[in-house]
Amino acid sequence: MMVHIPHVLDEEEVTRCLAVMREGSWIDGRVTAGHQSQKVKNNLQLPEGSAEHRELGKLIVQALLRNPLFVSAVLPHTIFPPLFNRYDEGMGFGTHVDSAVRLTAEGGLRIRTDVSATLFLTGPEDYDGGELTVEDTYGSHAVKLPAGDLIVYPADSLHYVSPVTRGSRIASFFWIQSLIRETARRSLLFNMDTAIISLTGVAKNHPALVSLQSAYHNLLRQWAEV
């Protein structure tokens, strides 16, 4: 299940992120790659644990948790501290799958990666190439979103970033351990919640709506890992 979540960051927040990153020291992105990913990864990252990383990570997590679409789609248990990468001309990231478990550099947090996320900080007009392509049973899906928009997708998906041919592609990337481990169950709950929200807007006093809300929460209660 891929979900596009628009306007996670507003224009002022995007501008702040880019300004902070201009003052940062970028390092080889392979520092956070697993054994398999190191062979196909070619980008730059802000150092994990740096002052810039901590400030911007906090800003993004706060924005995520106040976004109802993100919460509904992902049902977050734990959000890995957001990381930041940059693809300059000629850089890309070949086909890979994200590691099943991620550990912070300091070792203070370990999560199971149920959902992968990319938050775009430069818009499509700022660079050519650099599409994030996610492969699933329905084919390949290329993603290139406006600055401030987020894409989330199952972390077990094969995916890649096409080489940048002009400009720089800057983004935040991170993973979420969901309350719901299985993608199919998470997708079902998201569809139910979307229906509940739609019905609330047109028939908020209909008794069937209470039954639907009850079914949603009882399924969440049965499946959630807290």
Tell me yes or no: is domain 3-178 CATH 2.60.120.620: yes
Average confidence score pLDDT of the chain: 94
Confidence of residue 185 (pLDDT cuts 50, 70, 90): very high
Residue ranges per structural domain of the chain: 3-178, 183-223
What dihedral do alpha carbons 49, 46, 17, 101 form, nearest 10°? -70
The yes-or-no verdict on residue 207 having pLDDT over 90 is: no
Q: pLDDT value at position 201?
A: 84
- Let me know the angle formed at the C-alpha of 106 by 100 and 109, rounded to the nearest 5 degrees: 45
The yes-or-no verdict on residue 212 having pLDDT over 90 is: yes
3-state secondary structure of 41: strand
Pair of tokens at residue 30: 């392979």
Least confident of 9-18, 51-60, 113-122, 206-215: 206-215
What is the tens place of the pLDDT at every residue in 128-173? 999 999 998 889 999 999 999 999 999 999 999 999 999 999 999 9
The per-residue DSSP string of 129-170 comes to: E--EEEEETTEEEEE---TT-EEEEETTSEEEEPPEEEE-EE
Q: Determine the CATH number of domain 183-223.
A: 4.10.860
Pair of tokens at residue 214: 């009850």
This prediction has a pTM of 0.94
Q: Where are the beta strands (DSSP E) in the chain?
A: 3-5, 27-28, 41-42, 44-45, 76-79, 83-87, 92-96, 101-103, 110-112, 115-120, 127-129, 132-136, 139-143, 150-154, 158-161, 164-167, 169-178
Residue at token pair 């070949």: 94
Q: pLDDT value at position 208?
A: 87
C-beta separation of 158 from 103 below 8 A: no
The yes-or-no verdict on residue 34 having pLDDT over 70 is: no
The yes-or-no verdict on residue 30 having pLDDT over 90 is: no
Q: pLDDT value at position 69?
A: 98
Rounded to 5 degrees, what are φ and ψ at 38? -60, -30
What is the tens place of the pLDDT at every residue in 69-115? 999 999 999 999 999 999 999 999 999 999 999 999 887 899 999 99
The yes-or-no verdict on residue 39 having pLDDT over 90 is: no
The yes-or-no verdict on residue 120 having pLDDT over 70 is: yes
